[in-house]
């Protein structure tokens, strides 16, 4: 299945990617997707443990399953305001 | 439900306090509470922050702000909400976030305004990068309490 | 001590929110909390309030507001305080009182702003008379908690 | 001794007096002064039990003694804001 990956702030800068499509096995979890991102982008592997994920604009848990067409965003610690 | 006359969003232009207060006013309101977050001067090792660069996951941040407005409306009797956050470059001393809540009485205006700014700062997908006088930059890590 | 750049007083002209926010701003402030009290529509027995007439014991109200500002400054790290109350005629929907507090961080801005409006309403020697659509008028009795 | 009396809002309106000088016995208390005002201005006698006094811009207690030249203000329940 295909998932739209989005990265922001320090993750976007260090990976050089703000948006891309990634191929994952059907039913892959958020955790599995984040491991895959860490393997592809070594520059951000050390940052991922402090990041969380959002799926389709809502925060998601590591064990949540992804579905084809989902938007998966990797969210470093927010600092708005 | 979010009301159609709430004003919620991200913007790259300066925040207009007067416009926000007049958007929030109305004859059913007895109280308006407003919060303005301002980028603070910061310094370390002989260099100074000259501006901040705000980045947002805009679709999600906007959705979050709308959900927070709905939650506030379920908790308090609110007339109107204005909730605006800057993106892009914000100079030191300039406001980066503006919350206005109008209600019949003052206690709920303060509570709802405080609730909204606390939750936005903790949860909204917005990040800031400090731009230093020596042209270096640092991403600020907040103390979010994500779900 | 009250700071020389605090803005405290009674005025018969409309309250200017933008001016107050810019008076309260400054590079040492990270947070501005503002409260605006607005005269509410009121009705009883088929008649409506069309305006309010504010009267003050001006010397005492001003002294009280200055003492409250000093007390707030002893409790919280405050950059600047703007505290203005209308006297004279204020139409329904118009602001009658404006409090702005700037501080380094947001918690103390909300707390100090809330403290000031609560104490002003309970103690300051200011009275309002409701002017009704049938030209009658009524002095409003507050729920002060005098010493 | 002479004390400057000031009255506001409903007290001012019903008594018709906003400011006047009154003569009191030396050392008279706030309570004694208010009784004297009630005797002089029957129209506000019924309102005085709900009013408090301020002496020289500070709230005062019923038992406080007044001094020559003091400013005594009669304060009906406030309703600012």
The first and second tokens of residue B57, run together, are 């996951």
Taking 80 as the threshold, does the pLDDT of residue C79 lie above it? yes
Interval B39-48: pLDDT, tens: 887 777 778 9
Residue B14, helix vs strand vs coil? coil
Q: Choose the closest CB to B144 out of A10, A12, A77.
A: A77
pLDDT category at C147 given cuts 50, 70, 90 is very low
| Farthest CA pair distance, chain D | 38
ipTM of the complex: 0.91
Chains in contact with A, where contact means 3 or more Cβ–Cβ distances below 8 Å, are B
- Whether B29 sits inside 8 A of C40 (CB atoms) is yes
Chains in contact with B, where contact means 3 or more Cβ–Cβ distances below 8 Å, are A, C
Cβ atoms of residues D69 and D2 within 8 Å: yes
Angle at A70 between CA A65 and CA A74, to 5 degrees: 80
Domain assignment present for C146: no
Q: Is chain D adjacent to chain A, meaning 3+ CB pairs within 8 angstroms?
A: no
Tens-level pLDDT at each residue, chain A (81 residues): 999 999 999 999 999 999 999 999 999 999 999 999 999 999 999 999 999 999 999 999 999 999 999 999 999 999 999
Cβ atoms of residues C97 and C40 within 8 Å: no
User: If contacts are CB pairs under 8 Å, which of residues 21-60 in chain A contact chain B?
Assistant: 50, 52, 54, 57-59
Domain assignment present for B48: yes
Task: Using a CB–CB cutoff of 8 Å, tell me whether C118 touches chain D.
Answer: no
Cβ atoms of residues A73 and A54 within 8 Å: yes
- Whether A80 sits inside 8 A of B56 (CB atoms) is yes
pTM of the entire predicted model: 0.92
- Whether C38 sits inside 8 A of B18 (CB atoms) is no
Domain assignment present for B146: no
Q: Choose the closest CB to C38 out of B32, B38, B92.
A: B32
Domain assignment present for B145: no
Domains of chain A from N-terminus onward: 2-75 (3.10.20.30)
- Whether C60 sits inside 8 A of D57 (CB atoms) is yes
- Whether B40 sits inside 8 A of C104 (CB atoms) is yes
Domain assignment present for C118: yes
For residue D23, the cross-strand partners are: D2
Taking 70 as the threshold, does the pLDDT of residue C3 lie above it? no
The first and second tokens of residue C51, run together, are 């305006």
For residue A4, the cross-strand partners are: A21, A71
Domain assignment present for B45: yes
How would you list the strands of the sheet with C80-86, edge to edge? B7-11, B80-86, B95-103, B31-38, C31-38, C95-103, C80-86, C7-11
The alpha carbon torsion through B57, B60, B61, B67 (nearest 10 deg) reads 180
Own/partner pairs for A42-45, CB < 8 Å, 24+ apart? A43/A14, A43/A15, A44/A7, A44/A10, A44/A11, A44/A14, A44/A15
Q: Provide the CATH number for the domain around residue B41.
A: 3.90.1170.40
Q: What pLDDT score does B147 carry?
A: 45
Taking 70 as the threshold, does the pLDDT of residue C82 lie above it? yes
The alpha carbon torsion through C9, C15, C18, C24 (nearest 10 deg) reads 20
Domain assignment present for B36: yes
Measured CA to CA, the distance from residue C74 to residue D14 in angstroms comes to: 41
Domain assignment present for B2: no
Length of chain B: 147
Chain C nearest-CA residue for D50: C141
Q: What pLDDT score does B40 carry?
A: 82
Structural domain including C37 reads 7-139
Chain D nearest-CA residue for C38: D81
Of chain A, the end-to-end C-alpha distance in Å amounts to: 37
Q: Using alpha carbons, select from C103, A67, A57 the residue that is nearest to residue A75.
A: A57
Taking 60 as the threshold, does the pLDDT of residue B146 lie above it? no
Say how many domains are in chain B: 1
Q: Using alpha carbons, select from C145, C53, C130, C66 the residue that is nearest to residue D52.
A: C145
Residues with Cβ within 8 Å of C126's Cβ and at least 6 positions away in sequence, in order, are C10, C54, C55, C56, C57, C61, C85, C87, C120, D78, D79, D80, D81
Q: How far is CA C1 from the centre of its chain?
A: 20
Place of tokens 């009784």: D35
Sort out which chain A residues have CB atoms less than 8 A from B128's CB and list them: 79-80
Sort out which chain D residues have CB atoms less than 8 A from C121's CB and list them: 78, 80-81
């Amino acid at each position: 299945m295909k998932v739209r990956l989005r990265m922001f702030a320090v993750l976007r800068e260090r990976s050089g990617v703000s948006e891309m499509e990634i191929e994952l096995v059907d039913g892959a979890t958020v955790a599995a997707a984040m491991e895959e991102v860490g393997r592809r982008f070594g520059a951000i592997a050390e940052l991922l443990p402090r990041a969380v994920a959002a799926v389709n604009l809502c925060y998601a848990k590591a064990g949540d399953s992804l579905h084809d067409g989902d938007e998966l965003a990797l969210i470093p610690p927010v600092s708005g305001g | 439900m979010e009301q159609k006359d709430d004003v919620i969003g991200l913007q790259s232009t300066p925040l207009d306090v007067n416009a926000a207060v007049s958007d929030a006013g109305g004859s059913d309101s007895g109280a308006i509470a407003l919060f303005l977050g301002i980028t603070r001067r910061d310094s370390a090792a002989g260099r100074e922050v000259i501006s901040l660069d705000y980045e947002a996951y805009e679709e999600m941040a906007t959705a979050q702000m709308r959900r927070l407005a709905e939650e506030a409306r379920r908790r308090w009797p609110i007339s109107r909400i204005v909730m605006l956050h800057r993106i892009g470059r914000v100079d030191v001393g300039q406001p980066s976030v503006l919350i206005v809540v109008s209600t019949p009485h003052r206690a709920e205006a303060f509570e709802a305004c405080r609730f909204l700014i606390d939750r936005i700062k903790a949860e909204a997908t917005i990040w800031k990068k400090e731009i230093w006088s020596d042209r270096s930059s640092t991403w600020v890590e907040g103390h979010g309490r994500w779900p």
